[in-house]
């Protein structure tokens, strides 16, 4: 079954929103969730020490993912009123795909993150990025 560009962007929006919810769940569930998600022992210990930084970082990531979900919905024609939809959707696709393939370059900057974290999160980013770019290409004339 072939899906339309609008359908792909709705799926992309749902995937970005799910990723945001997963990040928010870490805040609610605490250090064990950060460990399970592979964020690293340093981040989990900061949560246990009730440091504010892990929560702020996680909230920022979740907020960006929710904004990206909104842009995918705008590209699909579900919502309107967002500026620069074409440009932003291309940028979102590029960020997801870049994150998927650039993890070997990012790993040294985050040595606490597990190999499982890198492989799973990069795979997720690859899927979401491909869904977005597929949707953008098919939806291009309507954007």
Nearest Cα neighbor of 9 from 65, 88, 66, 78 is 78
Q: What gap in Å lies between CA 35 and CA 136, rounded to an integer?
A: 35
pLDDT digits (tens, 9 = 90+) for 2-17: 899 999 999 999 999 9
Q: Are 45 and 36 in contact (CB under 8 A)?
A: no
How many C-beta atoms lie closer than 10 Å to residue 1's C-beta?
Answer: 3
Q: What percent of the chain has pLDDT over 70?
A: 100
Is the pLDDT at 1 greater than 90? The verdict is: no
Q: How confident is the model at residue 141 (pLDDT cuts 50, 70, 90)?
A: very high
The predicted model scores a pTM of 0.93
Q: How confident is the model at residue 34 (pLDDT cuts 50, 70, 90)?
A: very high
Domain of residue 100 covers: 5-142
- Mean of pLDDT values over 35-60: 94
| Total number of domains constituting the chain | 1
Q: How confident is the model at residue 38 (pLDDT cuts 50, 70, 90)?
A: confident
pLDDT digits (tens, 9 = 90+) for 92-116: 999 999 999 999 999 998 888 888 8
Strand, coil or helix: 3: coil
């Amino acid at each position: 079954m072939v899906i339309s560009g609008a359908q792909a962007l709705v799926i992309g929006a749902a995937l970005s929103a799910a990723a945001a919810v997963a990040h928010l769940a870490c805040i609610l569930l605490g250090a064990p969730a950060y460990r399970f998600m592979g964020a690293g022992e340093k981040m989990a210990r900061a949560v246990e020490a009730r440091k504010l930084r892990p929560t702020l970082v996680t909230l920022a990531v979740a907020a960006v993912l929710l904004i990206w979900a909104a842009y995918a919905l705008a590209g699909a024609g579900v919502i309107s009123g967002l500026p620069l939809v074409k440009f932003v959707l291309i940028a979102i696709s590029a960020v997801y795909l870049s994150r998927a393939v650039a993890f070997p370059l990012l790993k040294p900057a985050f040595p606490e993150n597990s190999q499982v974290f890198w492989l799973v999160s990069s795979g997720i980013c690859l899927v979401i990025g491909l869904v977005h770019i597929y949707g953008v290409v098919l939806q291009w004339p309507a954007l």
